[in-house]
Structure 1
């Protein structure tokens, strides 16, 4: 483990994942945490995780961030004391609007809504996501079908307290406080690498991360594949019943 991205979700974690990968640090975000370490995180979210557990989970991973890892940045750093810490930050009003937009985008994509409720992978994903939101954001989802309700005051308070805690507790010589508009230079200087000759990335524009992930992430691809199989199966059953009805 070389880099821990301790910033709250919706501070640019997807962009940072792409940026760090460009610099040679493949990073686990929420979907990777779920795909590779679902059972471990289920245990951690309910009962807590030991330093040995985090060391086993991420010994071959260069960087981690996003939910739920950002909430456990301190424990992960204890497991990997040589790692550097990046605190992604942004204006809290902008951050809050981005949180709401992400939930709206997720809820408006019907294929995702159906997949997360009617497929085996989707139901497991949704259960895990709810636990992560509860543990890391303090957000409660009444059911998979109902829209997420976010308390603005408490959400901003959690966001503010988390950022303050990181700035106070992280070793100063290992900490970079970073905004996406800062670009390559401070990030590369902090990591001790050359600035790449490419434009700094900008991902998850308008809460599009889920749709983008559907193209290449194994979790989303599996959910959609299972949903298509389910739809085909239902269509065959319906056609058979329809044909049987006409035959009578």
Structure 2
């Protein structure tokens, strides 16, 4: 683990994940956490592990971004004390919490609820976001990051600043390509970077919906057959 991104959702996290990948880092963003570590994260939120679990979870990963890692960034830093951390002083209010594409994916929904509780201190839902509590959560996160992270390992950074401060902080050469800007206004930009995990998530949703639709269809056929049998016997 080399880089821990402590910024909460809607603080340029998708852009940051893309930039780190372009710099050669292996990155776990929200889709990777969801797909590959979901059960372990649920256990973490249920108090079944201490921060030593992160050494096992992320032993081959260079950077973590977004939910749920940002909720316990300080614990991940304790597990990887030489990692560098970045936080964001200017943020967009978290008013567009993502909706899962299939309500039947109960396990993913549970994890999402636990992530929101850990980050914001209350169970935000997709229909009603408490703007006052959410703004307070962002301010607490910023103050906490500034007070806890060692200053020589902290970059207070806004993605609008581009490559230069980030590359200087990470001791990386400046890329010859433009700095990425992803997920503006909560619209996921589909690109080759990170697309595989998003497509995997969509496939899981599609498969889940189709499976449950088949089960529901068979149940309905059974009910119809039962009614007809009763009527004609």
Q: Give TM-score scaled by structure 2 length.
A: 0.84
Q: Secondary structure at the match of 1:203?
A: coil
The 8 Å contact of residues 86 and 156 in structure 2, kept in 1 or not, is answered as yes
CA distance in 1, matches of 2:208, 2:24: 33
TM superposition shift of 1:201 = 0.8
1:23 is matched with which residue? 23
CA distance in 1, matches of 2:212, 2:51: 41
Residue of structure 2 aligned with 1:220, choices 189, 194, 202: 202
Q: What does 1:85-234 align with in structure 2 at a 5 Å threshold?
A: 85-91=85-91, 95-96=92-93, 99-100=94-95, 102-103=96-97, 106=98, 112-113=100-101, 115=102, 117-118=103-104, 122-141=105-124, 147-209=126-188, 216-217=197-198, 218-231=200-213
Q: Secondary structure at the match of 1:4?
A: strand
In structure 2, the CA distance between the partners of 1:225 and 1:50, relative to structure 1 (3 Å rule), is: same
CA distance in 2, matches of 1:211, 1:23: 19
In structure 2, the CA distance between the partners of 1:220 and 1:226, relative to structure 1 (3 Å rule), is: same
1:71 is matched with which residue? 71
The 8 Å contact of residues 120 and 133 in structure 2, kept in 1 or not, is answered as no
CA distance in 1, matches of 2:211, 2:178: 40
**C-alpha distance after superposition, 1:34-88 (max 9, x if no partner):** 2222222112112164232111111111001211111211111111111111113
1:59 is matched with which residue? 59
| Number of equivalent positions | 224
In structure 1, stretches of 5+ residues that fail to align are none
